[in-house]
């Protein structure tokens, strides 16, 4: 009986099943009681903080489920990353501006990468039994540029998950690499080395023999990052700030899936803009299994394909690039997980096709079914548009609209209009499906 009374005195009624467990221990001193209550208070505070984090996470997840999600698809080198930058430029210009310092370093890395390719080509030419375009003088110039070339590896070690692959710069998903390039003292020191040798770089590229050698070897040094070889003086100025066009042309590859959130920055950014997500996935043949998890969560797919019927895949030279794109397009159209998804086709890099045709490219030598159609830009785009449209109609599980655009992703003005039109169409369908209009 005495024990029962003591229990009630310490913990209240035994009718409460938690009373015994919550009661203070027998013989507890004043200091122990203070420590116990403080610990309980801290535990309660931590619990509330965890609950708040979980609540915020749930709100973010619920919002994410409601937001429009766009998937960028296409083979490697189709221009997905450049289109993504165009979305940034169009809808989140302040965010875009905030990354210019990081892109300055990428551009300098592209410049160094181009110099490395040129020097490797010169060295290979000099090792051949007969050569006439370059000499030991060019080998010496490459040796003089060694301090610049070494900076490529130094910066890569800062931001790359592994060694360079096929001469390309690879980074992990996420924006950490941008912060490093923008603020790292090591990166700034590397930039200083490049800037200090601007005259040597300019003179090297001005050498006619060097340019003729690159043409002879059919190495398109002006493509991609090589674009900056013609702008050495400008991009090596101490106060250089990359232009929009520079950033769109800068090349860097991501190993893995990139998730990008677009939040409306101002009412003037674009009428009716809603928050949305864009997923950029790897385009290499061995990475395409990574696409599938996104198929049942996206409202729209922007599918990019250059009309590169004259090229083969970099990762498999037995496969024609355009044939690979056609197979991908048919598979995407036929996928039942995507039957309610908008499919938007971009014929990208149209500036390259125009240049090839001006240079004398004969389409039916690569595409026999093109037959005797006009060997012109309009003739080519009309023919391939009808082909892709027919596959879209035949392969889709149910009828849906066909959306098609011809794009040059590095042309900011024309691409901005297309991006705006695509965004408006995606959201119109999203609102319609949500029974909001």
In tens, the pLDDT along 9-30 reads 444 444 555 555 566 777 778 8
9-35 burial, b for 16+ CB within 10 Å, e for fewer? eebeeeeeeeeeeebeeeeeeeeeeee
Q: Tell me how far apart the alpha carbons of residues 298 and 277 are, in angstroms, rounded to a whole number.
A: 9
> What would you report as the CA-atom Rg of the chain, rounded to the nearest whole angstrom?
30
Strand partners, 348: 306
Tens of pLDDT along 406-427?
Answer: 999 888 888 888 988 888 888 8
Annotated ligand binding at 348? The verdict is yes
- pTM to 2 decimal places: 0.78
Is 144 within any annotated ligand binding site? Answer: no
Task: Count how many residues are written for the chain.
Answer: 437
254 is in an annotated binding site: yes
67 annotated ligand binder: no
Tokens for 408, please give them. 């040059």
Q: What is the pLDDT of residue 60?
A: 54
pLDDT for the residue numbered 17: 57
- The most distant pair of C-alpha atoms in the chain lies apart, rounded to whole Å, by 112
- Is 259 marked as a binding-site residue? no
Contacts of the segment 312-321: beta carbons below 8 A, 24+ positions apart: 313/75, 313/76, 313/285, 314/76, 314/77, 314/166, 315/76, 315/284, 315/285, 315/286, 316/285, 319/285, 321/75
H/E stretch holding 147: helix 146-159
User: Is 79 among the annotated ligand-binding positions?
Assistant: yes
**Does 282 carry a binding-site annotation?**
yes
Q: What is the pLDDT of residue 428?
A: 81
409 annotated as a binding-site residue: yes
Report CA-CA distances (Å) from 329 to 210, 267, 361, 392.
Answer: 40, 36, 25, 8
Residues of the chain with pLDDT under 70: 1-23, 51-66, 129, 161-169, 224-225, 266-273, 286, 430-437
Q: CB under 8 Å, gap of 24 or more: what pairs does 255-259 form?
A: 255/161, 255/170, 255/171, 255/172, 255/173, 255/282, 256/172, 256/173, 256/282, 256/290, 257/173, 257/281, 257/282, 257/290, 258/84, 258/173, 258/174, 259/173
Q: Token pair 């467990």 is at which residue?
A: 21
Residue 182: CA count within 13 A, CB half-sphere: 14
Tell whether residue 113 is among the known ligand binding residues. Answer: no
Quote the pLDDT of residue 9.
42
253 is in an annotated binding site: yes
**Quick one: pLDDT at residue 149?**
95
**Distance (Å, whole) CA 219 – CA 221:** 6
Domains and CATH numbers, the chain: 69-92+263-429 (3.40.50.300), 100-249 (1.10.400)
Ligand-binding annotation for 184, yes or no, is no
- Which residue, 142, 225, 164, 239, is CA-closest to 195? 239
Three-state DSSP at 324 gives: helix
∠ CA 395-397-402, nearest 5°, is 65
Say how far apart CA 275 and CA 261 lie, in whole Å.
7
**Can you tell me which residue has the tokens 């300098």?**
108
**Is 5 assigned to a binding site?**
no
350 annotated to a ligand binding site? yes
Identify whether the C-beta of residue 400 lies closer than 8 Å to the C-beta of residue 393.
no
DSSP state of 9: H
- Beta-strand ranges (E) seen in 313-386 are 342-348
415 annotated to a ligand binding site: no
What is the pLDDT, as a whole number, of residue 258?
84
Q: What does the pLDDT read at residue 56?
A: 59
The reply to whether 80 sits in an annotated binding site is yes
Alpha-carbon distance 346 to 366, whole Å?
Answer: 21
Does the annotation list 351 as a binding residue? yes
Given this model, what pLDDT does residue 107 score?
Answer: 95
Neighbours of 270 (CB within 10 A): 17
Tell me: is residue 156 an annotated ligand-binding position: no
Q: Is residue 390 marked as binding?
A: no
Contacts of 431 (CB under 8 A, 6+ apart): 437
Q: Is 49 annotated as a binding residue?
A: no
């Amino acid at each position: 009986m005495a024990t029962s009374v003591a229990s009630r005195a310490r913990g209240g009624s035994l009718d409460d099943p938690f009373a015994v467990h919550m009661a203070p221990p027998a013989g507890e001193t004043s200091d122990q009681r203070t420590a116990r209550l403080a610990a309980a208070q801290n535990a309660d505070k931590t619990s509330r903080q965890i609950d708040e984090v979980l609540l915020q996470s749930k709100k973010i997840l619920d919002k994410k489920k409601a937001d429009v999600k766009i998937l960028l698809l296409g083979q490697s080198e189709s221009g997905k990353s450049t289109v993504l930058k165009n979305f940034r430029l169009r809808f989140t210009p302040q965010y875009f501006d905030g990354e210019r310092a990081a892109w300055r370093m990428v551009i300098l890395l592209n410049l160094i990468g181009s110099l490395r390719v040129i020097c490797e080509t010169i060295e290979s030419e000099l090792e051949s039994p007969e050569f006439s375009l370059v000499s030991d003088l060019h080998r010496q110039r490459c040796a003089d540029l060694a301090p610049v070339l070494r900076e490529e590896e130094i910066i890569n070690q800062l931001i790359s998950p592994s060694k360079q692959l096929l001469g390309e710069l690879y980074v992990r998903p996420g924006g950490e690499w941008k912060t490093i390039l923008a603020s790292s003292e090591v990166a700034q020191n590397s930039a200083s080395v490049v800037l200090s040798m601007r005259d040597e770089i300019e003179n090297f590229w001005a050498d006619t023999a060097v340019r003729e050698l690159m043409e002879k070897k059919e190495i398109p040094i002006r493509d991609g990052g090589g674009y900056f070889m013609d702008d050495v003086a400008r991009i090596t100025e101490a106060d250089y700030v990359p232009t929009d066009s520079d950033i769109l042309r800068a090349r860097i590859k991501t190993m893995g899936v990139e998730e990008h959130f677009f939040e409306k920055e101002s009412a003037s950014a674009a009428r009716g803009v809603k928050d949305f997500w864009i997923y950029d996935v790897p385009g290499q043949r061995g990475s395409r299994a990574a696409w599938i998890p996104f198929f049942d969560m996206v409202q729209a797919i922007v599918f990019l394909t250059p009309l590169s019927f004259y090229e083969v895949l970099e990762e498999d030279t037995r496969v024609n690039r355009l044939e690979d794109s056609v197979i991908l397009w048919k598979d995407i159209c036929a996928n039942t997980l995507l039957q309610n998804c908008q499919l938007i086709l971009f014929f990208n890099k149209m500036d390259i096709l125009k240049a090839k045709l001006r240079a004398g490219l004969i389409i039916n030598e690569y595409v026999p079914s093109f037959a005797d159609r006009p060997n012109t830009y309009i003739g080519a785009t009309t023919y391939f548009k009808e082909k892709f449209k027919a596959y879209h109609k035949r392969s889709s599980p149910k009828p849906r609209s066909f959306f098609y655009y011809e794009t040059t992703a590095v042309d900011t003005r024309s691409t901005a209009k297309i991006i705006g039109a695509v965004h408006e169409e995606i959201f119109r369908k999203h609102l319609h499906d949500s029974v909001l209009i």
